[in-house]
């Protein structure tokens, strides 16, 4: 375990040095995120011009949900996105072979090369939005709520990671997995909506099988204290769901590796 931490520390340092060399780019990526965030806020504004609440969610509660959703996304992107998105390229060029020869677990190696510093800044913006919403809602979560909140963020990141990793693994069979980015973003676009809007089999699939609906909704509801059932139930749902998709992505990865014949052989 300590060896992994050491290796990760080195990768992290290299990443940071790299990114500070491209300062302009770094600032521009933050601008990109702010534009997207801004657009989402406009969307919420427009929605709530026409309606008082969506289910049991009011405007600032939805902003809180958006902030939470973005925060989880940014944490995931900071640690894992660039690396997992690069897997198809590794497969295509045969560079994956080098990763497989490393004396560390292959999934760890492909997932943790680079760290996104700009995502940290964007993450801080999200924290700001969440704080602002709490202020507007006159909510003062206690330390146990905050602790649980950060714990559920972790589960949320695990779900993001598992879905993206699963999609990346498909690139073993599909020559160009360009649709990978689109697939990930499209899937998680569902996560920013209040859980109440989803019904029927759709709700079942995205709560129990790929728990995207839970990812941001559970932490947000935790902060607002707005669960209509004992907290332990949705927490358990999220934790188990996250564990299952994570396990699923690993099994699929092992399966893909077993059938992998290098592009270079």
Partner 1 sequence: MLPPKYAKTFAIGLQNTFVYRWNILFRSLFALLPLAGTVFVWRTIFAEGSGEIGAYDYASMIWYFMLVLVVDNLVTPTEDEWQIAADIREGQISAFMVKPLNYLAYRVSLFLSYRLVYTMITLIPLVLVFSWFHEFVALPKHLLTWPVFFLSVGMAAAIAFLIAYSVALTAFWLLEISTLVFIIYSFEYFLSGHTFPIDIMPPWFQKILMFLPFPYEMFFPVQIFMEKVQGRALWTGLGIQAAWVLILWAASQVLWRRGIRKYQAVGG
Q: Which lies closer to partner 1 via its Cβ, residue 29 or residue 149?
A: 29
Asked whether 127 and 117 are in contact (CB, 8 A), the reply is no
Q: How far apart are CA 111 and CA 99, in angstroms?
A: 11
In the complex, the smallest distance separating the C-beta of residue 23 from partner 1, rounded to whole angstroms, is 12
Q: Which lies closer to partner 1 via its Cβ, residue 20 or residue 35?
A: 35
Asked whether 167 and 101 are in contact (CB, 8 A), the reply is no
Task: Name which position in 46, 201, 232, 258 contacts partner 1 (CB under 8 A).
Answer: 46
For residue 139, what are its two tokens? 């909510």
Residue 54, SS3?
Answer: strand
**DSSP letter at 209?**
I
Residue 44, SS3?
Answer: helix
Task: Name which position in 16, 20, 32, 102 contacts partner 1 (CB under 8 A).
Answer: 32
Q: Which of residues 181-210 bind partner 1 (CB under 8 A)?
A: 182-183, 186-187, 189-190, 193, 196-199, 202
In the complex, the smallest distance separating the C-beta of residue 49 from partner 1, rounded to whole angstroms, is 7
Q: How far apart are CA 67 and CA 87, in angstroms?
A: 29
- What does the per-residue mask of binding to partner 1 show for 119-158, with x meaning CB under 8 A? ----------------------------------------
Q: Which lies closer to partner 1 via its Cβ, residue 78 or residue 163?
A: 163
**DSSP letter at 57?**
B
Task: Name which position in 110, 117, 168, 177 contacts partner 1 (CB under 8 A).
Answer: 177
Question: What are the φ and ψ backbone dihedral angles of 54, each rounded to 5 degrees?
Answer: -110, 105
Task: Name which position in 9, 55, 128, 225 contacts partner 1 (CB under 8 A).
Answer: 55
Task: Name which position in 93, 131, 178, 262 contacts partner 1 (CB under 8 A).
Answer: 178
Q: How far apart are CA 220 and CA 18, in angstroms?
A: 35
Angstrom CA distances, 16 to 13, 20, 230, 246, stand at 5, 6, 42, 27
In the complex, the smallest distance separating the C-beta of residue 135 from partner 1, rounded to whole angstroms, is 25
Binding region for partner 1 (CB under 8 A): 25, 28-29, 31-32, 35-36, 38-39, 42-43, 46-47, 49-55, 174-179, 182-183, 186-187, 189-190, 193, 196-199, 202
């Amino acid at each position: 375990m300590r060896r992994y931490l050491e290796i990760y520390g080195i990768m992290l340092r290299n990443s940071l040095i790299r990114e500070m060399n491209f300062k302009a780019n770094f600032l521009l990526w933050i601008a990109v995120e702010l534009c997207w965030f801004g657009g989402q806020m406009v969307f919420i504004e427009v929605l709530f011009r026409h309606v008082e609440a969506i289910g049991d969610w009011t405007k600032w509660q939805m902003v809180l949900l958006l902030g939470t959703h973005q925060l989880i996304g940014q944490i995931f992107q900071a640690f894992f996105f660039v690396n997992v998105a690069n897997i198809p390229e590794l497969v295509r060029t045969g560079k994956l072979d080098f990763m497989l020869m490393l004396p560390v677990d292959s999934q760890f190696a492909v997932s943790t090369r680079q760290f996104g510093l700009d995502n940290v800044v964007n993450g801080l913006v999200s924290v700001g939005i969440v704080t602002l919403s709490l202020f507007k809602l006159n909510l003062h979560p206690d330390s146990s709520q905050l602790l649980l909140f950060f714990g559920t963020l972790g589960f949320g990141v695990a779900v993001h990671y598992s879905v993206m990793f699963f999609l990346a693994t498909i690139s073993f069979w599909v020559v160009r997995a360009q649709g990978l980015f689109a697939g990930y973003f499209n899937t998680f676009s569902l996560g920013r909506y209040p859980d109440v809007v989803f019904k029927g089999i759709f709700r079942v699939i995205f709560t129990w099988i790929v728990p995207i609906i839970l990812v941001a909704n559970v932490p947000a509801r935790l902060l607002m204290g707005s669960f209509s059932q004992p907290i332990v139930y949705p927490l358990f749902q999220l934790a188990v769901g996250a564990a299952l998709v994570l396990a699923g992505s690993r099994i699929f990865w092992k399966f893909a590796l077993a059938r992998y014949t290098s592009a270079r052989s």
